[in-house]
Amino acid sequence: MNSQIAPGETLLEVKNISLSFGGVKALQDISFDILKGEVRAIIGPNGAGKSSMLNVINGFYHPQQGEVWFDGKLRTQMKPHEVAKLGIARTFQNIALFKGMSTLDNLMTGRMIKMKTNLFWQALWKGPAEKEEQEHRERVEHIIEFLKIQSIRKTPVGRLPYGMQKRVELGRALAAESKLLLLDEPMAGMNLEEKEDMCRFVLDVNDEFGTTIALIEHDMGVVMDISDRVVVLDYGEKLADGTPDEVRKNQAVIDAYLGVSHES
């Protein structure tokens, strides 16, 4: 990761983002930043615009207003595969693995942007293509070891149980060695043990690889435990932003989650 940004400085900043689909305002004037090296959580009730926010960062949605600054540069309108090249990787709320491919191939695909050999050498295989393939295989094996998925290396991912698929998807995002990792509900639908494993992985990724992480999660226990700072969205608006403790005490957040009586 040859970024000029030092830990603790702003890696990504969104400024006054507004996004609407026809009459539906998905995001209204949202601004927040993600510091390098932190675990940043985005929380909010269903339909708050969390996934839309990630889609904006990814380049899937193009906001009507606002700016996205990444790595110290203002980002112009980009396609998702160009954003990937900048160093933003992501997992999905509903698993979006390549079901017909093995775990290994899924992870190797994650390294797509790092591979360069052209059609000619690939057709020949021997020579640069094979060398490149092996170099990347080695990196991928590190990730396989890190996530403890050695035993399912050659299994088509469509056959794996849900929790394992989530883990492979994390692996695929890790394989890109991105600067910023976006996790969309990495623990959704998991049991307690799987959640604990996943938390461990997220924290380890943050520690060992120094990857900045932004995650969306509904499990408040998890969010409050592992994140450094939390931003709260509701109905496309930003309710609160701060450390887990600050957010927990914020009246607007409590109202949004618990509901507020209109009589008083």
Partner 1 sequence: MFYRESGDFKTSYSGDQQIFPIAFDRWVVIAFCAFAFVVVPFLINDYWEKSVLVPVLVWSLAALGLNILTGYCGQVSLGTGGFMAVGAYASYKLTTSFPEMNMFIVILLSGGVTALVGIVFGLPSLRIKGFYLAVATLASQFFLVWLFNKVPWFYNYSASGQISAPERFVFGIAISGPNSPPWATYLFCLTFVVVFALIAKNLTRGRLGRSWMAIRDMDIAAEIIGVPPLKTKLSAFAVSSFYIGISGALFFMVYLGAAEPTEAFGIEKSFLVLFMIIIGGLGSIFGSFIGAAFMILMPVLFKNIMVGGLGWPTDLVAHLIFMLIGGLIMFFLIVEPHGLAQLWRVTKEKLRLWPFPH
Contact residues for partner 1 (CB under 8 A)? 58, 60, 79-81, 83-85, 89-90, 92, 96-101, 105, 108-110, 112-113, 115, 117, 119, 122-125, 129-130, 132-134, 137-138, 172, 176
Q: Which is nearer to partner 1, 14 or 240 (CB)?
A: 14
Task: Indicate the pairing of strand 10-21 with strand 24-35.
Answer: antiparallel
CB of 69 to partner 1, least distance (A): 20
* Angle, helices 192-204/162-175, rounded to nearest 10 degrees: 10
Q: Which is nearer to partner 1, 77 or 264 (CB)?
A: 77
CB of 222 to partner 1, least distance (A): 23
Annotate 162-219 with DSSP letters as a single string. HHHHHHHHHHHHHHT--SEEEEESTTTT--HHHHHHHHHHHHHIIIII--EEEEE-S-
Q: Which is nearer to partner 1, 98 or 257 (CB)?
A: 98
Q: Is the dihedral of CA 190, 193, 172, 159 positive or negative?
A: negative
Q: Which is nearer to partner 1, 36 or 172 (CB)?
A: 172
Task: Quickly count: other Cβ atoms within 10 Å of residue 209's Cβ.
Answer: 16
CB of 103 to partner 1, least distance (A): 13
CB of 251 to partner 1, least distance (A): 37
Q: Which is nearer to partner 1, 122 or 250 (CB)?
A: 122
Annotate 58-111 with DSSP letters as a single string. HTSS--SEEEEEETTEEE-S--HHHHHHHTEEEE-SS----TTSBHHHHHHHHT
CB contact burial 112-140 (16+ within 10 A = b; e otherwise):
ebeeebeeebeeeeeeebeebeeebeebb
CB of 152 to partner 1, least distance (A): 15
Q: Which is nearer to partner 1, 52 or 58 (CB)?
A: 58
CB of 75 to partner 1, least distance (A): 16
